Structure 1
Amino acid sequence: MRAQVSAKDVAELAGVSRTAVSRAFTPGASVSSETRAKVYEAAEKLGYQVNNLARGLLTSKTGIVALIAAEINTPYRSTLLAALSSQLQAADKVGMLINTDRSDESVAQALRQAISYRTEAAIILSGMPDTSLAEICLRNGMRLVLINRDEERAGTLQLRLDDAAAGRQAFAALFAAGCRRMAFASSLAGTPSLEDRRKGFAAAAADAGLALIEDASGMTSYQTGLDVGMRLLTRPDRPDGIFCSTDLIACGVLDAARQRLKLRVPEDVSIIGFDDIEQADWDSYNLTTFSQPVDDFAKAAVSYLSEPGHNEPRSIILSSRMVWRKTVRD
């Protein structure tokens, strides 16, 4: 096997010092345009590539950011990961995806992996690390961004939605459409986001003096929506308005209503989802839903990681936007 081309090889061909090669490839470093041109020409001839990982081990700045997430194949999660990785690349950082399950232990193991690879930071989308492990990360110079988690910790940025407000807005929309038998459809994931949506919806129903039907089972998936939808829509007191905790669940509920039970949407039942995934805009669903500010999440996370370090916890609460389509009565 051929030996990897080194900076020393480039220096010898260009007739400059090893330090000059390093400066030529370091943004903002002091080096003459003539020397930089010689170095680039030699590097091109030899096929030399800068080893940023090795440089990072020397400077403690690897540019690597761990993206720790579960359910990465779901539409919303994959969209958020795409936005985060794009913003990281634009900031000259590299996203390292670590796929986990929903458990805190799985997230803890992912963080240990991240530390071993000298990552600069971790963006956590699933689960919560133990406080002691979070402190180990901070002592190792790692910064943490928690997205839609429910704890504030030193040295972390917490990005959250006002999910309770969205729940109240969903109730108001269904109530204005004439719905009086309302239901909340969800999974058993129990994440802070899903629970806050439920709480906001339930609180608005209580304020209006209406009893709320709730049904939840399984994972946050289309199949769960199909199962929950069949149970809700075959009840003697069938709901005429359903708020679903996610669009995947809403799509399942919609297919239960239209395809299996031959109900009319929105005439017989109005349905609202959450996330505004790509499928929500398909003609077969045309789902009224809430759009998450994915790009704002990504920009805020990367901006925080690009700032000088500090240990004060910071929290940013963003709002979702209601997207009106055709699953709620006018």
Structure 2
Amino acid sequence: MPETTPEYAVGVDLGGTNLKVALVERTDGIVRQATLPTEAEHGPERVLDRIVEGVQRVVQGFEAHGHVEGIGVGVPGVVSMDRTTVTKPPNIPGWERVRLADHIGPRMAEAGIEVRGPIIAENDANAAALGSAFYGAGVPFDSFIMVTLGTGVGGAIIVDNRLFRGTTGAAGEIGHMTIDYEGPYDRTGVAGALEAYLGQKFLSRHARYQLLARETNLYATSGRDLEHVTPQRVHAAALAGDEAAREVLTWAGHKLGVLLGSIVNLLDIRKVVVGGGVSRAGDFLLDPARDAMKRWTMPSLCEGIEIVQETRGNDVAMLGAARLVFEHIDDAA
């Protein structure tokens, strides 16, 4: 058989604090990667420059080995159905509507970087799901729900190894689905949405309120009034045997499982992959989610239910962004 020529693409994970960039080979995954401060506070033009700087870092000297087929960019917020335009991404001030290719393409040319193919944008949770489907914990599943627990709560739907994007590209906003219409508001104003319980700032606030009157070793790490408590510190305390910290994670996992049960009832997709920083709490969070998920799922749909933790961390977002390019190539063939 003739030797297959490797295919390479660049995947970008654009966050409000840092952006991560990787050169990705279609089969083997990440070849090299770089992390840069986003510098979002300096405005959209600076962020676009930083993206180009990141791409330069991972492709520098690569020309001797091959060429880049295209660039995929995972971004927070809403992306147009044709994957060209980003609208008002959260945590990146000053962006209204940005057509990425129109801004990144010329910058690449000025930097002397040849990109043969498209520059494609996608919601960051969708990119993470695609990366998981082909390179991470989602590989065993043809169809699954992705939940990303970080600053916010993101979600995505994979059906037959393809993203389900809805009619405008915005499907999968699991974090903004409500489990209590009289509950606390998330950052978009939805009452009782999952993000209002499990987003990092929200979960930190709930943990503080729940633990202030409890005996816990978190006072040693989070201040006398627990003003510096974080999900990471709660997890560390739980690992050390702190029963109160474990109860906070059980409470959060229960909230997650309640919503996941409703999603199974709606979509009949029974596999869930959970990623993002908060997911590092592992089974302290996921075991109560598994229990609650089955309780809130119709009995006839419970068979085969499974929640797994994404083990590749933030890499899946870069891998999924690059995968957008490979899918573009396949669809055009």
Q: TM-score interval w.r.t. the shorter chain?
A: 0.3 to 0.5
Greater share of strand residues, 1 or 2?
A: 2
Q: Which has the larger radius of gyration?
A: 1
Normalising by structure 1, report the TM-score: 0.37
Normalising by structure 2, report the TM-score: 0.36
